[in-house]
Structure 1
Amino acid sequence: MGLISLIWGIAALLWMVLAFIPLLGWGNWFLIPFAAVGAIIAAIGLLFTHATKRGRAKTGLVLNAIVIIVGVIRLSIGGGII
């Protein structure tokens, strides 16, 4: 689960970079739920992984949380359109 959430977070981060391009800001509407699913996967990974092997799940959770926060800020600045 940790590796899946890490890969999911990296994909969401790359998608976030593309959403910074003007006229592609609408991608944030799809990016936020995508990253939320990744954060849920990371949380499940944290619950069911041994304490010494939680690094990937924690990293995936942080990446997905950053993407969600930046996506929400980007949508609030652009009024949800751009």
Structure 2
Amino acid sequence: MLNLLSILIGLFALLLAIPSVIPFLGWGNWFVLPVALAGAGIGALSRSNGGRNFCLVVLALAVLRLMLGHGIF
């Protein structure tokens, strides 16, 4: 059950991250980071690793995008 919740949180974080790929909207990734981190934490409590890994991938993409845009762009 926690794995499913983690996947749903990861999907929500991914939906928040998609518009943040557009130039000058990269600051939106700052909202994605805590959501994906919370999903990874919930996924770590479950027996399966799928939800946790998915949230970690979304988190890594958001961090990479923030690094490319210097945290703002």
Task: Structure 2 unaligned segments of length 5 or more: list them.
Answer: none
Corresponding position of 1:62: 53
Corresponding position of 1:13: 14
Residue 45 of structure 1: how far off its partner (Å): 1.4
Which of the two has higher C-alpha Rg? 1
* Comparing 12-21 and 29-38, the one that deviates more: 12-21
Residue type of the alignment partner of 1:62: N
Task: Structure 1 unaligned segments of length 5 or more: list them.
Answer: 47-53
Q: For 1:62 and 1:33, locate their aligned partners in 2 and report how far apart those are by CA, in whole Å.
A: 15
Contact kept? 2:3, 2:52, Cα under 8 Å: no
Give SS of 1:26's match: helix
Contact kept? 1:13, 1:63, Cα under 8 Å: no
Identity level (%): 40
Corresponding position of 1:75: 66
Corresponding position of 1:3: 4
Corresponding position of 1:42: 43
Question: What are the superposed Cα offsets for residues 5-39 of structure 1, whole Å, 9 maximum, x if unpaired?
Answer: 01111111121112112222111111111100000
Deviating beyond 2 angstroms after TM superposition, the runs of 4 or more aligned structure 1 residues are none
How well do the aligned residues superpose, as a CA RMSD in angstroms? 1.1
Residue type of the alignment partner of 1:24: L
